[in-house]
Amino acid sequence: MTSYICKDSFEGILCGIYDAWMGKRGHSQVRLEVEGAFEWSLFTEYLSADVSSEKARKVMDAVRQKICEDAFEKIYIASLSNDLDRADKIYRFLIYGFHYGKKVMDMLAVPAVFDLFQICRNVSCEAHKWMEFIRFSETGEGILFSKIGSKNAVLPLLASHFADRLPGETWMIFDENRKQAVIFIPCKGWILCEIDSVMEETIRGWQTDKKGYEELWKIFYKEIAIKERTNPVCQRNHLPLRYREYMTEFH
């Protein structure tokens, strides 16, 4: 058995796929692991996959041409997942993908395809939940600031949504689990950046004033519920508890 260890990024995983494929050791003889998230095992040769944009580009082009755009989007979303086997699952999906072409997108009955779709769904669902539940608060300088704690790396998916929605605002979404942030500046677009501990300290110290609208929102939130229909189970199904610590109305 040979394990290819890839860097934890979309590009890294693509390079791992390239190496594993071109190594020609047989699909059943290779595994892909993501750096820092696997267990060492006996009788396995470990090779690390170097990142090069050329290798990544080759895999990307192959997926787009031989399978379809949709499949490319799927593997990108899957790479954002926190599933420990994400790299391997993408690899297994591509084996079928390169064999069947576009048709693979309908073959949910195949375990490899099903697994990939499942982790994709997991990431997309979480991203959608954050789109719903992110709460911005305004800092003194007029910057809209929001803190989230996500399981999957959903920031890139959120960024494009909010860039379209709030094109005239300066805003920032900080993911405290991954120490990453998306920063958007009008007319310039968004960037994803790492936040170190010094910067994190600064961010946490930001004062968000204009309490006025936050209070109004809490009033609205409380009043809109109909007492006779109170239903906490339904509420919890739609709005799981783990999101609530980041939401203004539950503070």
Partner 1 sequence: MVIQQNLTISEKLKILTDAAKYDVACTSSGTDRRGKAGALGNAVEAGICHSFAADGRCISLLKILFTNQCIYDCKYCVNRCSNDMVRTAFTPEEVCRITIEFYRRNYIEGLFLSSGVLYSADYTMEQIYQAVYMLRTSYHFNGYIHIKAIPGASEELIERVGFLADRMSVNLELPTAEGLKRLAPGKTREKILKPMRQIQQGICHQAFLQGQEQKLLYGKSREGFAGGAALFQPGNRGRGFGPKAEDSLVKQGASEYKFLCPEKLRKGRKFVPAGQSTQMIVGATLENDYQMIKVTEALYHSYGLKRVFFSAFIPVNNDSALPALPGGPPLLREHRLYQADWLLRFYGFRADELLTEEHPNFNVFLDPKCDWAIRHLEKFPVEINRADYSMLLRVPGIGVKSARRIIAARRSCPLDFLALKKLGVVLKRACYFIMCSGKMQEGIRLNQDFITSSLIGEEQRRSWDISHRNAYRQLSLFDDMNLEVMPSRADIHAAAGGDF
Question: Nearest approach, Cβ of 214 to partner 1 (angstroms)?
Answer: 8
- 137 forms part of the interface with partner 1 (CB under 8 A): yes
Burial of 37 (0-12, 13-18, 19+ CB in 10 A): middle
**41 or 114: whose CB is closer to partner 1?**
114
**99 or 204: whose CB is closer to partner 1?**
99
Report d(CA 32, CA 34) in Å as an integer.
Answer: 7
Cα within 13 Å of Cα(169), Cβ side = 17
- 150 forms part of the interface with partner 1 (CB under 8 A): no
- In the chain, how long is the greatest CA-to-CA distance? 66
Cα within 13 Å of Cα(91), Cβ side = 28
**22 or 114: whose CB is closer to partner 1?**
114
- 1 forms part of the interface with partner 1 (CB under 8 A): no
Neighbouring C-beta atoms of residue 35, cutoff 10 Å? 15
Size of the site for partner 1 (CB under 8 A): 51
- 192 forms part of the interface with partner 1 (CB under 8 A): no
Taking CB under 8 A as the binding criterion, the range among 14-22, 46-54, 159-167, 193-201 that sits at the site for partner 1 is 159-167
- 230 forms part of the interface with partner 1 (CB under 8 A): yes
Task: Select the residue interacting with partner 1 from 133, 180, 199, 200 (CB under 8 A).
Answer: 133
- 141 forms part of the interface with partner 1 (CB under 8 A): no
Task: Select the residue interacting with partner 1 from 108, 125, 185, 191 (CB under 8 A).
Answer: 108
Torsions phi, psi of 188, nearest 5? -115, -25
Distance of CA 118 to CAs 74, 100, 149, 169, Å? 10, 20, 21, 35
- 193 forms part of the interface with partner 1 (CB under 8 A): no
Torsions phi, psi of 250, nearest 5? -105, 5
Decide: 146 and 172 in contact? Cβ < 8 Å.
yes
Task: Output the six-digit token pair for 64.
Answer: 């787009």
- 167 forms part of the interface with partner 1 (CB under 8 A): yes
Give residues 23-62 in contact with partner 1 (rule: CB under 8 A): none
- 225 forms part of the interface with partner 1 (CB under 8 A): yes
- 140 forms part of the interface with partner 1 (CB under 8 A): no
Report d(CA 146, CA 206) in Å as an integer.
Answer: 11
Q: Which residues contribute to the site for partner 1 (CB under 8 A)?
A: 100, 103, 106-109, 114, 131-138, 144, 146, 162, 164-169, 213-217, 219-221, 223-235, 237-239, 247-249
